[in-house]
Amino acid sequence: MNLNFKTARRLVMVFMIASLICALGGMIFIRPGTQASVYVVLLALILMLLALLFLFAFCRCPWCGKRITSGMMKVEVCPHCKRDIDTGIKRKGKKK
Ligand SMILES: [Zn+2]
């Protein structure tokens, strides 16, 4: 399985947000110590793990294969090889 960087990044976001919603919702609506709270915590953890999995497995440059983590959510150009994530065209200097 090989995911497009931008798709992987979106999935990471989705899983992170779902996990947070789960954790927050659980804290607000479910009494701690009940069985439901255990499920919610587990679900939040699983979602968080999925997010991390996608982050580490697929959030890498499609051109040089190096992992992109810093500013990953908005990066358009690989910080390692300076290629555009979409097109693979090398960007030099300040040329837009
Ligand atoms: Zn690269």
pLDDT of 71 higher than 60: yes
**Ligand 1 center from residue 38 Cα (angstroms):** 41
What pLDDT shows up at residue 1?
57
pLDDT of 75 higher than 60: yes
What is the tens place of the pLDDT at every residue in 20-54? 999 999 989 988 889 998 999 999 999 999 999 99
What pLDDT shows up at residue 21?
95
What is the domain partition of the chain in residue ranges?
5-58, 60-96
**Ligand 1 center from residue 19 Cα (angstroms):** 29
Residue 92 zone, left/alpha/beta (φ > 0; ψ -120 to 50; rest): beta
**Ligand 1 center from residue 71 Cα (angstroms):** 14
**Ligand 1 center from residue 1 Cα (angstroms):** 19
3 pLDDT band, cuts 50/70/90, is confident
How far apart (Å, rounded) are the C-alpha atoms in residues 43 and 35?
13
**Ligand 1 center from residue 54 Cα (angstroms):** 18
